[in-house]
């Protein structure tokens, strides 16, 4: 059993000179009987153990044993399968930061011993490029994911070291990073990664070890983009230098991972040109290329961003990994600025585009997350290209670390989740307790327990979706301007048992798309608080949900249903259903020959993240709003 616990961060900006915020360690936050607490428990009880079984079944672990000479046989699976093992290790590391799971502790030690045993004396570590493929190393950075896998190894090693003090994998990762640094550089070989990932990993390795060469190498890889070294095309984000980008393009996950790395570099260097580029890309994505769920990547071809406003629903790609990458990038942008708009996108992606990627039983996954379906799209136990399952595991495992952050001025509450955090302010521990039923209700009670009377600022995020909010401090209403999409600062001398009450108005909203999103013309989506809703056949068996019309004037009501889908608030109301029988077998008919008939129905909408957990059937988010 691993017992030692250190400060565990996904991104450690404690000493980053250009960071506005510093994260609070994952190990210092406890989630209690909240929306996420059962999910964390399921992660340890179901998700991580079953993923271990699968990476064993599919030969991913055998590849390391083969590379170490422990077994014989052929390499199994895709050439980047090592990365799935690394993400699983990282997820377990985060989980161990706040749990005492002896079985997972033992498993992760066994796995890292297999990984370390596969490392060459020169530091190289990739099980695909062993034996007969050794001469192919570093010959195809565009396609073969060597640097991508190396990045995931580094991130896993850092997480495990911070969570447990176990440094053997960290030593292996540093040895590999040193090997890479001996090959690539301005005075050595030019190159960059066809699949970005190593850039943010190297920056975090620099933060962990203090070795400047790792930060320099991350910047070197970023600076080499746009030189045609990995295809010279938008798919690889290699069509122009990074600092000249004015539109977010290419493979969605690669693009967002690259932005994560660039933001990390900015946090260490403060380069204005880099920051200006990041802001341009963020605005382009959030204002023209992001789904209402926080998902990104509209095209199946190339798993890519499309043109501005190209956001199809049934044919949406919206890969789970892309929603996770969107969350990751916005976390870094939040740390850089303390601007609530980035936390808004984190929250949107988390509750919708990310959580839809995993089933309620914790062991089935979506790779693609469409916004409309005819009942054929179902979660799978695994995928041959299995990037998404361990990726969502590591994000869920790390969730406690995103709720709070600190600055020189005080404590920031980024996400409202029932929890207790132990936060250091000027050498004193302040216990922060959140009591809330968020996201189902907008009431949050916050109790502060400083060791003694302490002066600091408390920053409370008012979500961008919230039109009305009130804050009370010890039952006295706060007389301050409260704006949606901003943090409210409360500066005072805090005493034990101080109580803050946040009341966020959470009406049901009907959202419309920009007119250029042609597929959503005359349609609305239902949203309440951070939750986007969908209409699924399982709740509406008497009509085809694709034929539903929701007139603008029809009222809607929210109702808590604890027995449904592990407990959700549903939206109900009256709608119309278009009858299609007068089309008969005709695909097209003259308008003059058609008289559309409608009938009234009662409908029920559920949170989008919970769809496809029951009997297959049609589903839709964007509902026709105007009767034909």
Q: Which residues contact 110 (CB under 8 A, 6 or more apart)?
A: none
**Paired tokens of 236:** 């690889």
CA distance 451 to 443: 26
Residue of 303, 319, 347, 536 with catalytic role: 303
Q: How many CB atoms lie within 10 A of CB 464?
A: 18
Concatenated DSSP letters for 323-377? HHHHHHHHHHHHHHH--HHHHHHHHHIIIIIIGGGB-TTSS-B-SS--SEESS--
* Terminal-residue alpha carbon distance, the chain: 65
Helices (H), 36-167: 37-42, 48-57, 60-67, 82-96, 102-117, 146-164
b/e burial code for range 308-325 (CB count within 10 A of at least 16 → b): ebebbbeebbbbbbbbbb
What phi-psi label fits residue 371: left (phi over 0), alpha (psi between -120 and 50 degrees) or beta?
A: alpha
The answer to whether 203 and 264 are in contact (CB under 8 A) is yes
- Neighbouring C-alpha atoms within 13 Å toward the C-beta of 613: 18
Residue of 387, 388, 466, 534 with catalytic role: 387
Q: Give yes or no: 574 in active site.
A: no
CA distance 541 to 194: 47
Q: Give yes or no: 303 in active site.
A: yes
Q: Which residues contact 515 (CB under 8 A, 6 or more apart)?
A: 521
User: Environment class of residue 557 by beta-carbon count within 10 Å: exposed (0-12), middle (13-18) or buried (19+)?
Assistant: exposed
Concatenated DSSP letters for 465-515? T-S-EEEEETTEEP-S---TTEEEEEEEEE-TTEEEEEEE---EEEE---T
**Paired tokens of 178:** 């040193």
Q: Which residues contact 512 (CB under 8 A, 6 or more apart)?
A: 520, 523, 524
The answer to whether 282 and 339 are in contact (CB under 8 A) is no
CA distance 174 to 181: 10
From the list 355, 332, 352, the residue with the least C-alpha distance to 342 is 332
**Paired tokens of 234:** 């938008």
Q: How many CB atoms lie within 10 A of CB 166?
A: 19
Q: Which long-range contacts (CB under 8 A, 24 or more apart) does 187-191 make?
A: 189/138, 190/224, 190/227, 190/229, 191/138, 191/141, 191/221, 191/224, 191/229
CA distance 6 to 28: 10
Q: What residues act catalytically?
A: 303, 387
């Amino acid at each position: 059993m691993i017992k030692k616990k250190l400060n565990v961060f996904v991104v450690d900006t404690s000493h980053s000179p250009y960071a506005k915020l510093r994260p609070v360690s994952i190990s210092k936050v406890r989630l209690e009987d909240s929306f996420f607490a059962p999910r964390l428990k399921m992660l340890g009880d179901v998700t991580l153990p079953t993923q271990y079984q699968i990476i064993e079944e599919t030969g991913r672990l055998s590849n390391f044993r083969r590379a170490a000479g422990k077994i014989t046989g052929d390499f199994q699976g895709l050439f980047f399968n090592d990365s799935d093992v690394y993400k699983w290790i990282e997820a377990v590391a985060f989980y161990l930061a706040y749990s005492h799971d002896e079985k997972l502790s033992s498993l992760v030690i066994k796995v890292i011993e297999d990984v370390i045993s596969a490392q060459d004396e020169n530091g190289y570590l990739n099980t695909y490029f062993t034996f007969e493929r050794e001469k192919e190393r570093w010959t195809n950075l565009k396609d073969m994911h060597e640097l991508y896998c190396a990045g995931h190894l580094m991130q896993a090693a850092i997480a495990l070291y911070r969570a447990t003090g176990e440094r053997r994998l960290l030593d292996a990762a540093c040895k590999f990073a040193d090997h890479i640094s001996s090959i690539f550089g301005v005075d050595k070989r030019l190159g960059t990664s066809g699949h970005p990932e190593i850039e943010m990993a190297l920056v975090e390795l620099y933060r962990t070890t203090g070795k400047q060469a790792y930060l320099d190498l991350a910047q070197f890889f970023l600076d080499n983009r746009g030189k045609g070294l990995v295809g010279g095309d938008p798919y690889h984000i290699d069509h122009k230098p990074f600092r000249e980008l004015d539109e977010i393009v290419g493979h969605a996950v690669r693009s967002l991972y690259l932005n994560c790395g660039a933001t990390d570099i900015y946090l260490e260097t403060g380069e204005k040109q880099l920051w200006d580029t990041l802001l341009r890309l963020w605005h382009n994505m959030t204002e023209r290329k992001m789904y209402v769920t926080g998902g990104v990547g509209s095209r199946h071809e190339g798993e890519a961003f499309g043109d501005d406003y190209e956001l199809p629903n049934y044919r949406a790609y919206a890969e789970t990994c892309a929603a996770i990458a969107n969350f990751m990038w916005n976390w870094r942008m939040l740390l850089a600025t303390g601007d609530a708009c980035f936390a808004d996108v984190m929250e949107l992606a988390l509750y919708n585009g990310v959580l839809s990627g995993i089933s309620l039983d914790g062991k089935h996954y979506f790779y693609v997350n469409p916004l409309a379906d005819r009942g054929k799209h179902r979660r799978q136990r695994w995928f041959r290209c299995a990037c998404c399952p361990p990726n969502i595991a590591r994000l869920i495992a790390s969730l406690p670390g995103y709720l709070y952050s600190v600055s020189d001025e005080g404590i920031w509450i980024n996400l409202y989740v029932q929890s207790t955090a132990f936060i250091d302010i000027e050498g004193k521990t302040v216990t922060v307790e959140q009591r809330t039923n968020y996201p189902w209700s907008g009431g949050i009670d916050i109790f502060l327990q400083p060791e003694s009377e302490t002066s600091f600022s408390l920053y409370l995020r008012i979500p961008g979706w919230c039109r009305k909010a009130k804050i009370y401090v010890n039952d006295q209403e706060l007389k301050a301007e409260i704006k949606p999409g901003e943090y409210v600062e409360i500066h005072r001398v805090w005493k034990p048992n101080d109580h803050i009450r946040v009341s966020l108005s959470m009406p049901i909203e009907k959202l419309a798309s920009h007119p250029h999103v042609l597929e959503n013309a005359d349609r609305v989506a239902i949203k309440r608080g951070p939750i986007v809703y969908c209409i699924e056949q399982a709740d509406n068996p008497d009509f085809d949900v694709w034929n539903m019309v929701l007139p603008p004037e029809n009222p809607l009501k929210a109702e808590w249903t604890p027995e449904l889908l592990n407990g959700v608030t549903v939206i109900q109301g009256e709608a119309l259903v278009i009858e299609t029988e007068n089309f008969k077998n005709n695909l097209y008919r003259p308008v003059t020959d058609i008289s559309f008939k409608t009938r009234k129905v009662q409908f029920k909408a559920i949170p989008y993240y919970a769809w496809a957990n029951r009997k297959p059937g049609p589903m839709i988010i964007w509902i026709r709003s105007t009767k034909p």
